[in-house]
């Protein structure tokens, strides 16, 4: 079997169980058709509050745990400082990765997240004479500037192939970063077809203790500013002031959790805002089943799995018209709105709540499993491995 090393900074961890859930699902599926080892590479920041990263929950995990059941994972870290070490994180990661790759002896390396993991993966793989595919997920190319953009460009150009999760990202990689389109391959995400499926709404609401008459809007994702959560709260309050049935569920965790909890508590509709935290997939599916619609008012996105999962549950989606979202959300299953526009978001949510949707057809249109993704990923790995001229390993 083909031996594949996956390098990534995101997997579910005890302090953030929803992080990188799609990478976890994809790696498990790939493990069924190849020999896979996942190298979880994370930056290790000083234990000083003001030096901690501001965009995600920081923590250290370097041992196997139950959240990775079914996967062969090696977790490790490299020392880093916010801002100051950005230009060196890719090299630092490569130094830590190289001996681990040498021990595993992969045929192909697949590094998800263009920089620093993609850079680390390319450098370590090429040092062993192995090809490397850099997997692009979204903000790793959409929100880069200055030094980070330059380092990202290096990783993409030195990769043997670039895998993206949407056609929008394929255009960004080719046009903004100058990568030959023939080296860019679109492999869109799948979903867990046994978990995310239509369920009786009444039963889901009863299990969650929700009102039968509620008109429930569900958000699932990281609780960060770029997900448009302030705009969502503003839109919710505008709707809730006119309709006592409107409720909002914010499913997830993140650095904005305390701020959002305070805003929710101060809201006149505080009793109608639910914040259950980050949940396991089956619980997420239950909230989606209980909802009337899902929403993702992000400022930037790649190909968000939460939208695919919501549609698989038969729920229409109101989302920002950014990134790969227009490739998922159509007139038949949702509404797209401008990003960062609370008034437009409120209008679209109201329109979606008032419309009669064909929930069965919405769910039936979603068929792509993680096994489909694994087959396409394996095919790309074998193609790169076959056509790549043997490299002379660096001494």
The CATH number of the domain holding residue 247 is 3.40.50.2000
Same-domain pairing of 150 and 10: yes
Smallest CA-to-CA distance from 73 within 64, 86, 61, 84 is with 64
Q: Are residues 29 and 134 in the same domain?
A: yes
213 and 125 together in one domain = no
Residues 328 and 381 grouped into a single domain: no
Let me know if residue 394 belongs to a domain.
Answer: no
Burial class for 334, CB neighbours closer than 10 Å (0-12, 13-18, 19+): buried
- Give pLDDT, residue 387: 78
In angstroms, the CA 11 to CA 25 distance is: 10
Query: Count of domains in the chain?
Result: 2
Average pLDDT of the residues in 343-366: 98
Cβ neighbours of residue 3 closer than 8 Å, sequence gap 6 or more: 34, 35, 36, 37, 104, 105, 106, 107, 108
In a domain, 393, yes or no: no
133/253 same-domain check: no
Is the same domain home to 101 and 177?
A: yes
Stretch among 78-82, 114-118, 229-233 having the lowest mean pLDDT: 78-82
Which comes out higher in pLDDT, residue 259 or 392?
A: 259
Write the CB contacts of 66 (distance below 8 Å, at least 6 apart in sequence).
Answer: none
Angstrom CA distances, 62 to 73, 74, 77, 121, stand at 9, 7, 8, 19
| Any domain includes 84 | yes
Task: Look at residue 196 and tell me if it is in a domain.
Answer: no
Closest among 115, 116, 143, 152 to 300, alpha carbons compared: 143
State the pLDDT at residue 274.
98
pLDDT interval class at 69 (50, 70, 90): confident
392, part of any domain: no
* pLDDT over 90 percentage in the chain: 85
Q: Which residues contact 187 (CB under 8 A, 6 or more apart)?
A: 163, 164, 165, 373, 376, 377, 380
- What was the pLDDT predicted at 85? 73
What confidence score (pLDDT) does residue 47 get? Answer: 63
- Structure-block tokens of residue 224: 């960060």
Distance set, CA 19 to CA 283, 326, 387 (Å)? 15, 24, 34
Assess whether 137 and 9 both reside in one domain. yes
Contact 74, 103 (CB under 8 A): no
User: Is residue 117 within 8 Å of residue 146, measured between CB atoms?
Assistant: no
**pLDDT of res. 393:** 44
Residue with tokens 């490397």: 132
- Within a domain: 211: yes
Looking at residue 59, its pLDDT comes to: 67
Give φ, ψ of 295 to 5 degrees.
-140, 145
The tokens for 38 are 């996942």
| Residues 272, 170 share a domain | no
Judge if 91 and 142 occupy the same domain.
Answer: yes
DSSP H or E segment with residue 306: helix 305-312
Pairing of strands 215-220, 132-136: unpaired
Residue 291 contacts residue 217 (beta carbons within 8 Å): yes
**pLDDT given for residue 70 in this prediction:** 83
- Nearest residue to 112 via CA among 86, 130, 138, 94: 138
This prediction's pTM: 0.92
* In a domain? residue 395: no
Confidence band, pLDDT 50/70/90 cuts, at residue 388: low
Distances from the Cα of 278 to the Cα of 98, 166, 275, angstroms: 33, 26, 9
User: Are 11 and 152 in the same domain?
Assistant: yes
Answer yes or no: are the C-beta atoms of 71 and 38 closer than 8 Å.
yes
Query: pLDDT grade, residue 53 (50/70/90)?
Result: low
For 66, the domain range is 3-190+370-387
Is residue 276, in this structure, part of any structural domain at all? yes
What percent of the chain is helix, strand and coil (3-state, nearest 5)? Answer: 45, 20, 40
Q: What is the pLDDT of residue 57?
A: 63
Residue range 321-350: mean pLDDT, rounded: 98
pLDDT band at residue 249 using 50, 70 and 90 as cut-offs: very high
Contact 191, 309 (CB under 8 A): yes
DSSP classification of residue 391:
P
How is residue 348 written in tokens?
């679209």
Task: Please check whether residues 209 and 336 belong to one and the same domain.
Answer: yes
> 30 and 141: one domain?
yes
């Amino acid at each position: 079997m083909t031996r594949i090393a996956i390098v990534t900074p995101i997997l579910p961890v005890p302090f953030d169980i929803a992080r990188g859930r799609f990478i976890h699902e994809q790696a498990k599926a790939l493990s069924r058709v190849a020999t896979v080892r996942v190298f979880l590479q994370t930056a290790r920041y000083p234990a000083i509050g003001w030096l901690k990263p501001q965009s995600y929950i920081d923590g250290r995990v370097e041992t196997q745990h139950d959240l990775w059941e079914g996967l062969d994972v090696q977790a490790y870290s490299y020392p880093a400082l916010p801002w100051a070490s950005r230009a060196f994180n890719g090299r630092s990661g490569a130094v830590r990765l190289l001996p681990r790759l040498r021990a595993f002896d992969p045929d192909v390396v697949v590094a998800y997240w263009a920089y620093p993991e993609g850079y680390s993966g390319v450098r370590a793989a090429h040092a062993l004479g192995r090809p490397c595919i850099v997997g692009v997920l979204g903000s790793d190319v959409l929100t880069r500037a200055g030094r980070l953009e330059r380092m990202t460009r290096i990783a993409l150009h030195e990769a043997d192939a670039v895998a993206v999760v949407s056609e929008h990202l394929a255009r960004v990689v080719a046009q903004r970063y100058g990568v030959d389109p023939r080296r860019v391959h679109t492999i869109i995400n799948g979903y867990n077809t046994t978990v995310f499926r239509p369920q009786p709404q009444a039963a889901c609401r009863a299990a969650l203790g929700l009102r039968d008459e509620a008109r429930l809007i569900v958000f699932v994702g990281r609780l960060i500013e770029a997900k448009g959560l302030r705009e969502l709260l503003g839109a919710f309050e505008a709707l809730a002031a006119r309709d006592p049935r409107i409720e909002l569920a914010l499913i997830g965790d993140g650095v904005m959790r305390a701020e959002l909890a305070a805003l929710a508590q101060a809201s006149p509709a505080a009793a109608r805002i639910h914040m259950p935290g980050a949940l396991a997939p089956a619980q997420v599916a239950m909230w989606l089943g209980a909802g009337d619609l899902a929403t993702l008012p992000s400022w930037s996105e790649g190909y968000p799995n939460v939208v695919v999962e919501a549609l698989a549950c038969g729920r229409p989606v109101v989302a920002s018209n950014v990134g790969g979202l227009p490739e998922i959300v159509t007139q038949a299953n949702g509404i797209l709105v401008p990003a960062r526009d609370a008034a437009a978001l409120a209008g679209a949510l109201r329109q979606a709540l008032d419309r009669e949707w064909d929930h069965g057809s919405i769910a039936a249109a979603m068929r792509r499993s993680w096994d489909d993704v694994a087959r396409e990923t394996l095919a790309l790995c074998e193609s790169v491995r076959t056509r790549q001229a043997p490299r002379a390993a660096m001494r």
